[in-house]
Amino acid sequence: MTRIGKQLSVGFAAIALFSAGYALHDQVAWPGAHAATAAPVVQNEPGRSVAAVALPDFTQIVAEQGPAVVNISVSGTKKTALAPFPGFDDDSPFGEFFRRFGAPVPHGEQRVPVRGEGSGFIVSPDGVVLTNAHVVADADEVVVRLTDKREFKAKVVGVDKPTDVAVLRIGAKSLPTVRIGSAQHARVGEWVVAIGSPFGFENSVTAGIISAKSRSLPDEGYVSFMQTDVAINPGNSGGPLFDAAGEVIGINSQIYSESGGYQGLSFAIPIDVAMNVERQILANGKVSRGKLGVTIQEVNQALADSFGLDKPRGALVSSVEAGSPAARAGVEPGDVIVKFNGTEISRASELPGLVAGAAPGTEVSIEIWRKGSTKTLSLKTGELKAVAARADDTGGGVAAGKLGLTVRPLDPEEKSQVAEGRGLAVEGVDGPAARAGIRPGDIIVAVNGEPVSNVDQLRRSVRQSGVVALLVQRGDHRLFVPIKAG
């Protein structure tokens, strides 16, 4: 079955190497290292001459940028169920607690070691590294290895799952860095180069061309991917994609494959998206995204004909959220958004990334097609419901990693459900929090008896004491839950 696969090698025992033989019946000219002037003439057939095409030379890019590409090794554990823990029977006090919260009584678990590898690249001399979120997701330990064989334990500053971007930091100075470019000006057909660690083979170089731009993939609403034919395999994830000028224009992230390995289709996250995520995580500990408040769909030929469009283009609005920025600006179902802030929308899949990239509160314009004519509306973007970025306990405004919690501030609707009007919403659980019975959707109202409204309060409590008592609200029920930090 054909599938999109995020590439991360999770342990392997052996690799089979195969060689493919081939024969050249016609003579082919292979230019030298820097041959780019006169193209030699090859006699292909009697009476017919063909000018050989000068192939690009990537040696300088590899020599200059390769030292800033790193190998990332991750280790962690996964849970396998065992018999129930002693004292967690249905008739025990713990059993009563879980029944009240509508949760199954937790069973024992066995932690099974899991290892994996990926790639990344250094963007700041003081040790900031970018990679894919799925490379470091749920890892207990992340090790970054440089080309000079030095190794550093990395701290996960933050991850942004919607864009699959993670920011790491290692304790080193004066490091080599890549040159950051832009994917906006990249053209289909351009040569591109990937450097990474496929199957653990560090600093492997592969090359190809940009096959397409603005590709939408299943469950990836905030990224318009670049499609390439660069060979990408497990372990390449998180590595840089360079253009012919030696600048990073993307992060290699996914492949389309029937076998699980490379089959000619690979996808990269535009570096413009990744650098925006990096700046926000370093500055605020989270990523804020703009919001219009509309549901959209693609415009096919039949819809274009019915709405009087000259061709299928834009994003068709199928519904408008009440009270949203779009509703206040006068957007209606049946409108086709053809431009956002001056940028033409060819496909509906292009719009979410553009809107998300506009900071909440930004004044923007949208051009809509309505009843045979265009109309321009102005509005201020709202804020998309915060997506928590998981981080260790040294980052800012994110999560309490030692508890295994990923949390965020409450949105207005959640605040109305809590008498105090404040708290922290649980986005994800693992480790100690999961074993204690905390679940996504719970609201943490207090920690050690003190009301809590931001992550820093929770983090300080974790630092001060190895055990914290969280007052948790689930629905209409509240109960203190003790958790021992991992």
- Show which residues are catalytic: 134, 164, 237
Which residues touch 42 (CB under 8 Å, ≥6 apart)? 26, 27, 28, 29, 49, 50, 51, 52
For 135-175, list the strands marked E by DSSP: 141-145, 151-153, 155-160, 165-169
The strand pairing partners of 41, in sequence order, are 51
Q: Is-contact 362 384, C-beta < 8 A?
A: no
Q: Which string of b and e fits 259-293 if b means at least 16 CB within 10 Å?
A: eeebeebbbbbbbbbbbbbbebbbeebbbebbbbb
Of 178, 234, 147, nearest in space to 61 by CA: 178
Phi/psi of residue 480, each to 5°? -75, 135
The end-to-end CA distance of the chain, in Å, is: 40
Could you give the strand order of the β-sheet that contains 165-169, starting from the edge strand earlier in sequence?
151-153, 141-145, 69-81, 109-124, 128-132, 165-169, 155-160
CA distance 60 to 40: 24
Query: How many residues are recorded in the chain?
Result: 486
According to DSSP, residue 234 is labeled: T
Q: In the block, which residue shows the tokens 């609707």?
A: 413
**Residue 118: partners with Cβ closer than 8 Å, 6 or more residues away:** 7, 8, 9, 71, 72, 74, 131, 132, 135, 136, 196, 197, 235, 236, 237, 238, 239
Distance CA 197, CA 205 (A): 9
Amino acid identity, residue 223? V
